[in-house]
Structure 1
Amino acid sequence: MRRRVMSMLVGVVVAAGTLLGTSPSAAAVKPPAPPEFGTDWHDPVTAAPPIEKPRTKSCAVTVAEAQFKDFTPFTGDYTPPRGCGDRWGKVVLRLDGKVKGRQYDRLGYLRIGGVEVFRTSTPEPSADGVSWSVEKDVTRYSETLRQNQSVEMLIGNVVNETYTGVIDVKVTLTFYERGKNTGAEPEKNPGTGSGSAAPDRVLPLGDDSALTTPRNSERIVAEVYATGSGGGCEEYWYLTVPDAAPYSCKADQGPYREVQVEVDGQVAGIAAPFPTVWTGGWSNPFLWYVLPGPRAFDIKPIEYDLTPFAGILNDGRPHKVEVSVVGVPKAQTGWSVPVNVLVWQDERSKHVTGELTRHDAGPLANDTAYTPASTAEGTHRLDTKGGHRLTVSGHVKTSHGRVTTTVTRALKNTSVHRWAEGESLDALKATWSDRETVTVNGRAVRTDRTYTMDGTTTLGADDRLRTEISLGDRAESVTTHGGRRTGRSVTDDRYDGEATYTATAPREERHAVGTSRERYRQYGDGGCYDRTLATEQGALTVDRRRC
């Protein structure tokens, strides 16, 4: 019976995430914490920095306003703003949402003109209801937003006698005029990164995976909003085990996952997916009611610089660009991988020619070692070591000279998964590293991404379920030119939480307690940001800023 309880909790409660909460005062918040969770708690918040906005004239447009009760998408029409021109310094998307009653976390998306501009998830509500908001810089989609477009938004939901929460959202876009003091635009081909000028074209990849780029494309970047979701074990892929091991979630070779992009059947990009924990995750929604895990609010796309393939793609014919997730069992669903292709064009050329000069894909490592429990009271163990390396290089002949782009990416994953008979204990300690270097004519941008997860769930004889977990999301970017460092930035988001409740009791009798803490830091040549939030039993007890 114990095993069935844990499998049900993990398989059902892990469903989606939360959104960015409205920011409270910067001063320390220390109200008395309740002795346990009640019927209401603080609205969802994160320690992430707000979007910086220009001090210029702005115009707002409502893109979607809907209530989600089922799996029927909202559809509408988008019209560009009037009175703010069509060349903007910044475009900011804002979602405001509210929900109350009983509901699982739900995954959602927003598409404008077929382009996925936002992917998100929702909080699990209190009986009294929660409100939240999230903002995202969507300036890179300016080309799409300059024209009348269709709108489609969906947050798939189930409402019935048990799950009563109707998700009510409003999405707006605010356009800021480009000011005189905003500085020069970034160079056009600086390598992968948010510092690039907005692309000239944004091409959504359709179901046929066919891509036809403009013949004068000089830089091409694919972005993939990859999420393991939609029910089943791929929502928590990092816990899956090979068929030989006695665990409730199987996946052929185990938990190693890799998101690959292929161009005409040839691997063109590799990346480690981020191990998002949705707001029902790890069998314990009390961990995430106020502070969600990293990225659950705003799901970032994975970026792949495909510029080495520009000489191939610029022939005016359609090419097959396909995305796959390595490690997912055949015929098993659970991953969503919508793709946008961002294109920067050489306005002085009708046709940019070039060639792929190097393609070096190393062997994919995916090794697991299963150690069975030595006794009925012991623990099973699965050790995983995975990784991959890819280097591609190519050049294009542009109106401003020959441009050579080399992309090197190296992935590594190690994890130790321990569990008891019946899964009354379930523990994972894992690290994912994704090192990418994009070199363009001697200017190199190296980005080191590190994701960490260290969690343990136990179910005691008294049916008290306890979860302790730490999550990390860190990225360091270093720019060099001619071997000399010219820039550095670090982003570090860390979450720590612990929560306990009576697993088999009705919601109002769970006697749940929990604490959580998030510290989000940014530092480097661009300045410093440092904010810490902490909660107890759903009350926000700390809001501290440094720097």
Structure 2
Amino acid sequence: MDPDPALPYSLLGPPPHLLPPRPPPPLPSPHAPARARRYAPPSAWPRPLWLDWRAELLRASTPLSPGPAAHGVSWRVRKDITRYAALLRPRPRPRPRSPAADDDDDYDDAAAAAPATFTMALGSSNSTPLHGSYSVNLTLHFYRGAALKPPLRGLYGDRPADAVVPISNDAGGCSSAGYWFKVHDEADAKSVPVLIPKNAYRAVLEIFVSAHGGDENWYANPLRSTGPDRYRFSDAATATAKPNGAFRQVAVTVDRRFGGAVVPFPVIHPNSINPFFWAPVAAIGAYDHPSYDLDLTPILGLYLDGEEHTIGLTIKDSQPYWLISANLHLWLDPLSDRVVGGLIRLKVPPLRLSRQADWRELDGKSSIDGQVIMRFSGWVSSSKGNITTSIKHRLKFKSRVEVLRQGAIKEVNLDVKARTDVRTERKKGGTGRMSVSQEFPLYIETVSSSGGEGSAFERTKMFHGLTETVRMAKNKEVVCSILDDRQDAEGSVFMEDGVAKWGSGNTKSIYKYRDDKQCYLRTVNTAGGEVKDDTETTSCALVAYL
């Protein structure tokens, strides 16, 4: 079920085939230079794909649409959904209960299998109507034989889970609130009761989360207690945000016991910062929002009693609003109806953040720094043996926001470093190790000048990146993969009441991937809404050089 098994894939970075194809060029605005373009402001409401109504497979931002384009814009997003294979297997419908049907030996269970239902929502958070239409085609590619061997997949190991349990909003729907939960603040925790099979021996929680409304540009939010109660970074959406700083953290609990936490990757929506950066390329993760994995195996033994247990989700320091859901991936013992396990160690010190701010009217600076090390250890005994899983998660966070010249210069620096080390030990010998290291740097500098009557001309420079390194060692075999995805952009935009009216942007995107068997490099340069250069290679020498 890998749509392109020859190409690598990473949870937090879009695979190279997620760079959208070149769209037809938009028509120039009659009131702007030839290299400037006028764009219809897109909605930041995500476009999700659900399976069987509740399990989220994909979350994407609305593609940026040029204004009066003759033929519209076409985008293609491809994602490997092998990890959801358990949801794609045929599930038999209940046999008919009539006596005649019960005696019918010709009843075909396979033919009566319940089909899987795919659902896509195309909602909008815009208050004004957006005229036009979307044409969506969804295609699933299935592979067998040699193509079934998956690439390196981090916490998912070498095969998908046997069961996937959605942690989603049963009361939602495509025509209303969606199957995700809407989180307004840190106190607005969401919880779902879950029945974990007694023969589960591994568990990984996959979290989908995205920021909207006043928190859409949380990564640029300053920390201040006095002065104007708003901050705008080339986007009217943040006008309602309170200046509580650029730190957000997604936390998970199981029966109110801490299960893990992650800092979300700063996804930049197509209407953020300078929308002319994002045509015709997309920001990192914009059209395939990253999901985040937490290995719950060390605490799994506490919840194998056949009773319902509650999984809770919350977002620290959040503001209205965030959309969150999750999938619980479970590996089941086929040779046993029940396994046993227990918790050995749970050491989770509080994340201590250093918050500093110095403001005088509009000008000033603020910073948030923090780091923490969390440790989990537990054992599960199944037909595969008595296996102890130990996890060490390290997080280092740094945020800087500075404003100069009465708000004319705004500078944002964000750097998140995280590393998860997983060690498995069998009681009768044999060990396995895996580590996932990630770094998310973001730098934005905007210089603005007033145009009068609520308008401004802004010039922005930006760097955004993702580096992810995965290492796995089992017995004497060691495999490694390195992904490096980065973007540099520079351009200008004319704003009226926080809405981009016209402008231009140059964006350089570089995607590199390398493992023990293959390499891939793609560079895309755009200027003025057009692709100037698009080069790709599988030469490992070039990948190592650039």
C-alpha contact 2:363 2:407 (8 A) present in aligned 1: no
C-alpha contact 1:453 1:470 (8 A) present in aligned 2: yes
Tell whether 2:123 aligns with 1:156. yes
Q: Pick from 512, 515, 518 the counterpart of residue 521 of structure 1.
A: 512
Partner of 1:132: 75
Aligned-residue identity in percent: 26
Q: 1:20 to 1:252 in 2, by over 3 A?
A: same
Partner of 1:223: 206
C-alpha contact 2:277 2:504 (8 A) present in aligned 1: no
- Distance apart, 1:402 and its partner CA: 0.5
Give the Cα separation in 2 of the matches to 1:489 and 1:24: 29
Deviations 1:354-406 (CA, angstroms, capped at 9, x unpaired)? 10110000221222110124xx7x83100110233211110011112101111
C-alpha contact 1:217 1:345 (8 A) present in aligned 2: yes
- Distance apart, 1:309 and its partner CA: 1.6
- Distance apart, 1:253 and its partner CA: 4.9
- Distance apart, 1:161 and its partner CA: 7.1
Matched ranges for 1:357-368 at <5 A: 357-368=344-355
Partner of 2:258: 267
Q: Equivalent residue of 2:137, what SS?
A: strand
Deviations 1:230-267 (CA, angstroms, capped at 9, x unpaired)? x11x1111222345143515557522211111111111
Q: 1:161 to 1:116 in 2, by over 3 A?
A: closer
Q: Pick from 44, 48, 51 the counterpart of residue 109 of structure 1.
A: 48
Q: Pick from 187, 197, 218 the counterpart of residue 159 of structure 2.
A: 197
Deviations 1:476-517 (CA, angstroms, capped at 9, x unpaired)? 1122346x671211001001111212223999973x222101
Matched ranges for 1:100-499 at <5 A: 103-113=42-52, 114-126=54-66, 127-128=68-69, 129-147=72-90, 148-157=115-124, 163-176=130-143, 178-179=144-145, 181-182=146-147, 192-207=154-169, 208-229=191-212, 231-232=213-214, 234-246=215-227, 248-249=230-231, 253-282=244-273, 284-328=274-318, 332-373=319-360, 379-420=363-404, 423-441=407-425, 442-462=431-451, 463-481=456-474, 486-499=478-491
Structure 2 unpaired stretches of 5+: 1-16, 24-32, 91-114, 170-190, 232-240, 426-430, 540-546
Give the Cα separation in 2 of the matches to 1:535 and 1:365: 42
- Distance apart, 1:166 and its partner CA: 3.3
Give the Cα separation in 2 of the matches to 1:262 and 1:459: 44
C-alpha contact 1:472 1:495 (8 A) present in aligned 2: yes
Give the Cα separation in 2 of the matches to 1:507 and 1:252: 21
Give the Cα separation in 2 of the matches to 1:24 and 1:281: 21
Cα RMSD of the aligned pairs, angstroms, is 2.8
- Distance apart, 1:353 and its partner CA: 0.2
* Greater relative CO (CA pairs within 8 A, separation 6+): 1
- Distance apart, 1:300 and its partner CA: 2.1
Q: 1:193 to 1:540 in 2, by over 3 A?
A: same
- Distance apart, 1:124 and its partner CA: 1.8
- Distance apart, 1:304 and its partner CA: 0.6
TM-score by length of 1: 0.75
Give the Cα separation in 1 of the matches to 2:336 and 2:462: 54
Structure 1 unpaired stretches of 5+: 1-18, 26-33, 41-100
C-alpha contact 1:426 1:457 (8 A) present in aligned 2: yes
Q: Equivalent residue of 1:299, what SS?
A: coil
Give the Cα separation in 1 of the matches to 2:363 and 2:244: 20
